[in-house]
């Protein structure tokens, strides 16, 4: 009878210890899942941040590529209007030379000046035409 009681106690202890080990394992598994979810969330937010910054950089570059030639031509037209006004006020002798020299400057700027709207890490250079 004592042997049967001892065996029964051993079976009960084994079952209870297994139950405690399973509870501890489940607790550790849930904790690991929470940490994994937190790490995934941080990565998701960081990747979104990087993508937004990259998109903003490309948008700024596109705007610059579109605006710079327009600004140069606008500046040229304003200078031309100023020269024209001065020419009508004074004599028209100097005007052709000034216009020709400014046209050459504009062509030089538009065709030969290299412009890189992208950060140096991308190392792409574009020529404004």
Which has the higher per-residue pLDDT, 127 or 53? 53
Q: Is the pLDDT of residue 59 over 80?
A: yes
pTM over 0.85: no
Say how many C-beta atoms besides its own lie within 10 A of residue 80's C-beta.
16
In Å, how far are 29, 37, 47, 82, 107 from 96, measured between CA atoms? 84, 72, 57, 13, 16
Indicate the domain borders of the chain.
2-127
Please compute the mean of the pLDDT values over residues 2-26 and round it to a whole number. 94
Closest by CA to 57, choosing from 100, 104, 117, is 117
Residue 56 pLDDT class (50, 70, 90 cuts) = very high
Least confident of 30-34, 50-54, 59-63, 76-80: 76-80
Buried b (16+ CB within 10 A) or exposed e, 10-40: eeeeeeeeeeeeeeeeeeeeeeeeeeeeeee
> What is residue 21's predicted lDDT score, i.e. its pLDDT?
96
> What is residue 51's predicted lDDT score, i.e. its pLDDT?
95
Provide the H-helix boundaries in the chain.
2-89, 95-112
Q: Is the pLDDT of residue 6 over 50?
A: yes
Model confidence pLDDT, tens digit, residues 20-49: 999 999 999 999 999 999 999 999 999 999
């Amino acid at each position: 009878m004592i042997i049967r009681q001892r065996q029964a106690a051993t079976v009960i202890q084994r079952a209870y210890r297994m139950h405690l080990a399973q509870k501890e394992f489940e607790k550790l598994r849930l904790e690991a899942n929470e940490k994994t979810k937190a790490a995934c969330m941080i990565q998701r937010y960081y990747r979104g941040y990087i993508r937004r910054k990259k998109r903003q950089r490309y948008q700024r570059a596109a705007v610059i590529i579109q605006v710079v030639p327009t600004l140069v031509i606008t500046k040229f037209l304003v200078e031309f209007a100023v020269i024209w006004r001065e020419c009508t006020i004074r004599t028209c002798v100097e005007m052709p030379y000034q216009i020709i020299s400014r046209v050459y400057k504009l062509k030089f700027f538009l065709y030969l000046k290299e412009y890189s709207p992208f950060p140096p890490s991308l190392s792409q250079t574009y020529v404004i035409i």
